[in-house]
Chains A and B, each alone.
Chain A
Amino acid sequence: MMRPCVFADVRADRDAAAALRGGDKLVGRPRLRNDIDLVWPKEGLRRIPYEVYAREDIYARERARIFEGPTWNFLCLEIELPNPGAYRATFVGDVPVIVARHGDGTLHAFENRCLHRGAMLCLKPGTGKEISCVYHNWTYDLTGRLTGVAFQKGVNGKGGMPPEFSTAGRHLRQLRVATFAGLVFGTFADDTPALETYLGPEIAARIRRVMAKPIRPMGSVSQYLHSNWKVYADNLRDSYHASLLHLFFTTFKLNRLSMQGGIIVSENGANHVSYSKMASDRDDDYDAAKLRAKQDNFGLSDRTMLQGRDEFGDGITLQILTVFPGFIMHQIQNSLAVRQILPKRVDETELNWTYFGFADDDDAMRTIRLKQTNLVGPGGYISMEDGAVVNFVQRTLPGGIGDASIVEMGGAGTSSQDTRVTESAVRGFWHAYRERMGV
């Protein structure tokens, strides 16, 4: 081959500009290690090159290889589509998707983009037998199959589609849908393993632990982050930062690193769960470290917020669980929610929070959940900092190109550990990422 293939021409802006001026200059470049033109540091998973958070071309590749690739993406809670005929708009990565419950009760998901001119079909939740495009009234059933074209035969014998045009066999791009414990996931790829296999037994067990009985949605909110989606994905898997950044948590002994707890990383690195118990805390480690986070004279004057219940009966007061690429479930005391990480641009990300309780919650339990929402959310005592720090990381990227971050807490591996002072789940994420991206 005389010239690099088209794919290899997709590279950082600086190189793309040069290529446009004179593509021939690319001939004779050193052979690329991969078609993304990204040289991963020799330290492997102990380093993350900053350009992965900043390059437009990498962002576009992520859509194809991760979000539209062999991954399961969280679409909604099953209870958000309670009745046959219900549908709602969601996203897989930044691709608009509709998820629907057909009249026969089966769940379907398909791209939210009309086959005709590409207009968005659905903007808000609805109910019906079909979905029509507002632009030219092409209609689809709730499996995504094209069922009608307005004026297909023309009007008064004039106009209309050519006689050979048929609606048969035309379908909005479909996703395969699978549910697990009340969570609805979708995948664009044919070769994605079965959902439960993809989750792995330990992650599956900890989803089941929370989704133990029928749930009831309690509210949702969106948080707009000024960072690449992976900066937030890292943050979620980074149990090391919890008691260093989130001072509130530490001060009230909700999540000290010395507590009993640990981290479980699925075999392929992609998914993780981090957990801790409030009991068995030791002060020594903290006193020795003289952490900023230690401020014993700080107390709550109204402690009702923290007076929760051990509703799962195992003493675990914190469980944060992620499924590659963009699903999060948390249980923090009695605050329960799922989050969807949605990339919007290379440097902007939307976080969709959906809180829930159980259908059999009594009034007291509802009040506990109401108060504990103060802990976790866009304004939460132990989570608001994440919105700030992911942006702090993003802002330094112009100077960080060519450099890499250090991810060595807890060694170099991606295995489960019985400490939370580790970055093994972060490395696990990047293991899964590199495998899918081919970098």
Chain B
Amino acid sequence: MVVDNLQARYVAAIDNDRLEDWPGFFTDPCRYEIISAENVEQNLPLGVFFADSRAMLADRVASLRRANIYEAQRYRHIVSPALVLPPADNLTRAQTNFLVVRIMLDGDMRLFMSGRYLDAIDLSGPTALFAEKRVIFDNRRIDTLLALPI
């Protein structure tokens, strides 16, 4: 329930363009990555994005807001109930499936990504935080570009 709530608040921040709130869902340091299921299966470490601090996440937002050029777009995340996994290192572990629909300014809407979050969640503080969030996407192919966080 706590995990579902965290997940719901997390995707709402992204979908409602509150990207500045996004780093605040993580502990510091943390681990956030977007990587294909194919690479994970082959034990290959590189994905599309990697961060190990809140500052790196904040840099991503700053860059998206001020530096990068991409066509105006937003996401709609659809997430499954969390499958809670055995805890490790005093962290709650969970898998949550997701679909991301990308909506462009011109009205085009298509399924952009499907996959699963593999999360390690720190419940020790007043607010649940992601210590680790691995975004493992099923589609090897990324349409046009990936700008906003998943």
Contact = CB atoms under 8 A, between A and B. Distances in A.
Contacts of A295: 66-67
B67 A247 contact: yes
Contacts of A240: none
Interface stretch (A274-282, A372-380, A396-404, A423-431): A372-380
Contact of A369 (B39, B46, B62): B46
B5 interface: no
Contacts of B45: 218-219, 366, 370
Interface in A357-382: 366, 369-371, 373-374, 377-379, 381
Nearest to A335: B46
Most A CB atoms within 10 A — which of B34, B49, B51, B144?
B144
B38 A381 contact: no
Contacts of B62: 298, 301
A220 B141 contact: no
Interface stretch (A82-90, A265-273, A383-391): A383-391
A238 interface: no
B69 A385 contact: yes
B69 A378 contact: no
Nearest to A124: B38
B142 A224 contact: yes
Given A298-B66, A384-B147, A218 B46 contact: yes
A209 B125 CA distance: 50
A388 B71 contact: yes
A391 B69 CA distance: 13
Give the interface size bracket for A toward B: 35 or more
B145 interface: yes
Given A219-B35, A248-B67, A298-B67, A384 B145 contact: yes
Interface in A233-284: 245, 247-248, 251
Interface stretch (B10-18, B53-61, B75-83, B95-103): B53-61
A294 B141 CA distance: 33
Given A224-B144, A247-B68, A366-B45, A381 B63 contact: yes
Interface in B27-48: 34-36, 38-39, 44-48
Nearest to B23: A301
A300 B66 CA distance: 12
A221 interface: yes
28 contacts: A218-B45, A219-B44, A219-B45, A219-B46, A222-B140, A223-B145, A247-B68, A248-B67, A248-B68, A295-B67, A298-B62, A298-B67, A301-B58, A304-B53, A366-B45, A373-B46, A373-B48, A373-B49, A374-B56, A374-B60, A378-B48, A379-B34, A385-B68, A385-B69, A386-B145, A387-B144, A388-B70, A388-B144
List the 3 closest A-B pairs by CB distance, nearest first. A219-B46, A379-B146, A387-B145
